[in-house]
Structure 1
Amino acid sequence: MPVLSTTSELADRLLGERIVLLSRELDDDVAAETCARLLLLAAEDTHREVTLQIASPGGSPVAAMVVHDTVRTLGVDVATVAIGSLAGPVPFLVASGTAGKRFALPHAAFLPSADGQVRGAHPGDVRVRADHLARRRDEIEALTARYCGGPLPAEARERWLSADEAVACGLADRIRGVDS
């Protein structure tokens, strides 16, 4: 097998295996790129599952909702796999995958919070954005509770959860590759 020399070649090879890798902080551009890849794979074969590997350190709740809505409306099963440390609204994306196909690798860590960063030059802009982000946070928390079979325990927002703890509270269905 040839060595892949560029990120683009790697992404193309993964797409050929029906895998989309989300490995950067989630912003509008990353969400658009992720959704485009998911949509492409779903259009290429309407019967085969797509895998969304997630190793994002966090990001925008607005961008997370864009990816969520795409995952939930693709028309194909989406297996989600948590790898690395996931924070902010990103653990919500793991939970939004197809039930029974939401995985956490053994050393994945979750810090579930729907909070995003509020940035703006004008105080009115900050208030409007903060209100919008608060509504998105509430939506993410409600959907997370639905996917997980109930609200997350309060302590889940106060510390990093291990992969085992994420499974116990319903963020993932099981741990893949456990051999230790």
Structure 2
Amino acid sequence: MPALTTTTELADRLLGMRIVLLARELDDDVAADVCARLLLLATEDPRRDITLQVLSPGGSPVAAMAVHDTIRTLATDVVTVAAGSLAGPVPFVVASGTPAKRFALPHAALLPSDDDGTGQVRGARPGDVRVRADHLAERRREIATLTERYCGGPIPEGSRDRWLTAADAVSLGLVDHLKGADS
């Protein structure tokens, strides 16, 4: 097997195996790339599952909602796999996968917080702060409501103040299973 020399080659190889990798901070450009890949795979074969492997540290609630809406409108099942440390709206992206097909790797950590994963609202100019803040607040409310729906109930308040283990994420309903758990 030849060595893969670029990130693009790796992503293309994974795409051939119906795997989409979300491995950077989730912004509008990353969301557009993820959505495009999901749509391409769903069009190629709507009967075969797509796997979305997520190891993003955080990002924009607006970008997260774009990925969510794409996942939820596909006729194809989307298997989501949490890996690494996921914060901000990114655990919501994992929770938006097909029910019973949402996973966390054994050492995944999820922080379903109300910020972008960094504690900041990014990209705002002084004149836009209120408009952007209102928009982001509405997205956060939508994410909280949908997360509760996907998890079967509200996430306990204390869970938003600490990193959850993969096992905690299963018990709260953010994911359905641990994948590849070792002793």
CA distance in 2, matches of 1:145, 1:121: 32
Task: Give the superposed CA RMSD.
Answer: 0.8
Percent identity, please.
Answer: 72
Q: What is the CA-CA distance between 1:120 and the residue it aligns to?
A: 2.2
**In the alignment, what sits opposite 2:124?**
120
SS at 2:106 equivalent: coil
- Are the equivalent residues in 2 in contact too, given 1:115–1:133 (CA < 8 A)? no
Q: Per-residue CA shift, 1:20-63, capped at 9, x if unaligned?
A: 00000000000000000000000000110000000000000000
TM-score by length of 2: 0.96
TM-score (norm 1): 0.97
Q: 1:154 aligns to what?
A: 157
Task: Report Cα offsets for 1:126-155 as digits up to 9, x if no partner.
Answer: 011000000000000000000000010101
Cα displacement string for residues 104-134 of structure 1 (whole angstroms, at most 9, x for unaligned residues): 0000000002323324222x41011000000
1:168 alignment partner, one of 157, 166, 171: 171
Structure 2, unaligned runs of 5 or more: none
**Secondary structure of the residue that 1:136 maps to in structure 2?**
helix
- Report matched runs for 1:70-149 at 5 Å: 70-116=70-116, 117-118=120-121, 119-122=123-126, 124-149=127-152
Q: Which letter does structure 1 place at the counterpart of 2:106? A: P
SS of the aligned residue for 1:52 comes to strand
Residue matched to 2:46:
46
Separation in 2, partners of 1:153, 1:103: 20
SS at match of 2:75: coil
Q: Residue 74 of structure 1: CA displacement?
A: 1.1
Match in the other structure for 1:69: 69
